[in-house]
Structure 1
Amino acid sequence: MALTFEHVTLGQRVLFGAGQAAENLVAEVARFNAKRVMVIASGAGAQVAADVSSGIQVAVNYADVAAHVPIEKAEKARAAAAGHQIDLLVSIGGGSTTGLAKAVAMTSGLPIVAVPTTYAGSEATNVWGLTEASRKTTGIDDWVLPATVIYDAALTLSLPVDLSVASGLNSMAHCIDSMWAPRSDPINQALAAEGIRALSHGLPRIVEEPQDLGGREQALYGAYLSAVAFASAGSGMHHKICHVLGGTWNMPHAQTHATVLPYVLAFNAPQAPDAAVRIADSFGSDDSVAGLNRLRTAVNAPKALKNYGFAEKNIPEAVELILPVIPASNPRKVTPANLTELLTAAWAGTIPVI
């Protein structure tokens, strides 16, 4: 069968090197000829942000960061950027920090230099998300794509092992969803497969030896690949589920993705055999779900939505909210009954199998 597809590769500068974040940031600020820099970092990440930005002049340090980017937080940050006549945004931290920078860039057109300290992957996508009245809205806008990403595995050394695992499995979800998302194509499938391989090698090394830079570099590399694949392929069933759960019930982003992932894979894999084989191969397994389950056991992955604030009584409402946003291209038809079954299993933490 002849290959026919349309693929878009987003333009972005990537600087990768352990221990080089501060000097790379100096070079990027100079390259942009920026005079008024706004550094966005959470209060918990203030020291890391101070270290990374020690070589540049900072007009304002901004720390009012929250998960899922509440609209009121976005408006406040936008006002701060305008009030300080900012000409460059620097985000240092995880997905929430990057997300807030994106919210500012979306309305201002300001460039972003992203310095991730987790494996979220948001830094390599043109996807934004905002939450208002307990409803999370996502969209695509090239204005929000960071112009530069500075990866430094040394910045992830302080990330606790459990959060490293959850964050890495969030990236794994980008990879797996990219195999059957609405704009999936052979290029982003290849990127996703390599991302799965890198993450499946890196995460166990982090668990076994948290200070192993090699394992953290593999996880960062995999996170970048996952995000590039996701930005091209679009948001599939897994992400639609998690965006609803996170935005409506304010659930922790990474842990929610890490928990839901195996259930979506088990749901879709039988109806997407080519993708399932590719995923299995990337795990070094004969079966995609077994390969993911084996990795999850090795890294003691998050297991049940009930452990992260989601109540069983909320499943009917979740089904009602999720069903309309499931992509029509999903390999398996999603119904109220089978979605209820999936969410019930994810809530309870039963081991998913095909």
Structure 2
Amino acid sequence: MESFVYTASPSRVVFGPGASSKLPDELAREGRQAALILSTSFQVGEAERLRGLLGPKAVGVFSEAAMHTPTDITDRAVAYAQQLGADCVVSVGGGSTTGLGKAISIRTGLLHICIPTTYAGSEMTPILGETSAGRKTTRRDPRILPAVVIYDVDLTTTLPAGMSATSGVNAIAHAVEALYAPDTNPIIRLLAKEGVRALASALPIIVAAPTDPTAAATLPAARSKALYGAWLCGLCLGSTAMSLHHKLCHVVGGSFNLPHAETHTIVLPHAVAYNAPAVPAAMADLAEVLPGSEGDAVKGLNVLLERLGVERALKKYGMEEEQVAEAAGIAMENKYWNPREVDQEKVRELIRRAWAGEPARGDL
């Protein structure tokens, strides 16, 4: 067997239906008395529910979390936490709120308890992406990792089918790049394959449930499986280095203010097609867990996105055609590892295909 190093995630995970009701117990276990609850403006209701659950141990709610974690919002949140004398933060929501919790925690040392309501998986990573002056930067530090993650399947039941699909594919992207990361290992590959398998089987059921009685009958189990898959995929992201796919998504999303999960969904099959010739073993692993792949991982991803009915074109989210070349140029800055040499002209064509909404194909 190959030699490898595996570092386990130190987070405590509480998983199951109604798990958020255990938040007071987790606060007590950590010896915290003054929680600032974080959310987006759309999830204030859930934040207020948690505030009621904690009673006097909740000192306030900050509901300005935003996509790509803008540093100016983080600065306001840090000042508010200090003003209230908070000794921990509780984030509830998707990647935007999780990112804000991480950003506050790494700046202040406050303990972070995370309650995700989407399938993004970022709650299991020591990685923080932040945006300032139109540029997104990423850093990795063990202190960024939330101390406790509470997966309450009940909080995902109202997640719209479309958002479920894109946040789930976002999670799959983490596992895909972990399969061929320079620091991958057999344990991570097992987690990656199981995570992709769980999400690829659950997401089509979630998307079909509103109009398909058969799918609706199995929706609770599918929701649970998707959240489980997201957890595993997040572990992969937190344990290995990412490559071209994540670089492109940070460039495109951060530079042109495109939605995070939707950008990952659109770019993923194109980035995989680009790297496929250099990583045949990883492609075989991926094809194995993607229904309809017929041994071709890129085909499997195309089939999955077709079944989910997701948008495939970056231009639909406001990216202009003249920004394609700009994005390719930014992607060449700050060298990063990738299994295949990154060629600017080929990357430009990759981004153009994603911009136009063309199916991924392996001819770059």
Aligned pair in 2 of structure 1 residues 195, 326: CA closer, same or farther (>3 Å)? farther
Return the alpha-carbon distance in structure 1 between the equivalents of residues 36 and 143 of structure 2: 17
Give 1:130's aligned residue.
130
TM-align CA RMSD: 1.3
Give 1:27's aligned residue.
25
Whether 1:192 and 2:192 are equivalent positions in the alignment is yes
Return the alpha-carbon distance in structure 1 between the equivalents of residues 51 and 191 of structure 2: 31
Once the two structures are overlaid, the 10-residue window that deviates more, 80-89 or 180-189, is 180-189
Once the two structures are overlaid, the 10-residue window that deviates more, 76-85 or 209-218, is 209-218
Match of 2:352 among 340, 344, 352: 344
Report the Cα offset of residue 129 of structure 1.
1.4
Deviations 1:124-152 (CA, angstroms, capped at 9, x unpaired): 11101111110011101122211111111
Give 2:15's aligned residue.
16
Scaled by the length of structure 1, what TM-score is found?
0.96
Whether 1:253 and 2:251 are equivalent positions in the alignment is no
Deviations 1:187-246 (CA, angstroms, capped at 9, x unpaired): 212111111100001101101215622111111111111110111112211001001111
Structure 1 runs not aligned, ≥5 long = none
Q: Which runs of 4+ in 1 moved over 4 A?
A: none
Give 2:327's aligned residue.
318
How many correspondences in the alignment?
351
Whether 1:99 and 2:99 are equivalent positions in the alignment is yes
Return the alpha-carbon distance in structure 1 between the equivalents of residues 318 and 309 of structure 2: 19
Scaled by the length of structure 2, what TM-score is found?
0.93
Whether 1:74 and 2:74 are equivalent positions in the alignment is yes
Structure 1 segment 45-56 matched on structure 2, within 5 A: 45-56=43-54
Return the alpha-carbon distance in structure 1 between the equivalents of residues 358 and 130 of structure 2: 31
Return the alpha-carbon distance in structure 2 between the equivalents of residues 182 and 140 of structure 1: 16
SS of residue in 2 equivalent to 1:149: strand
Confirm or deny: 8 A CA contact 2:51 2:60 kept in the other structure: no
Identity %: 40
Confirm or deny: 8 A CA contact 2:168 2:226 kept in the other structure: yes
Report the Cα offset of residue 54 of structure 1.
2.8
The amino acid across from 1:320 in the alignment is G
Return the alpha-carbon distance in structure 2 between the equivalents of residues 325 and 221 of structure 1: 34
Structure 1 segment 1-354 matched on structure 2, within 5 A: 2-22=1-21, 24-57=22-55, 58-209=58-209, 212-284=219-291, 285=293, 286-325=295-334, 327-328=336-337, 330-354=338-362
Report the Cα offset of residue 326 of structure 1.
5.2
SS of residue in 1 equivalent to 2:72: helix
The amino acid across from 1:77 in the alignment is A
Aligned pair in 2 of structure 1 residues 7, 325: CA closer, same or farther (>3 Å)? farther
SS of residue in 2 equivalent to 1:324: coil
Return the alpha-carbon distance in structure 2 between the equivalents of residues 299 and 90 of structure 1: 32
The amino acid across from 1:319 in the alignment is A
Deviations 1:242-291 (CA, angstroms, capped at 9, x unpaired): 01111111110000000000001111112100000000011143111111
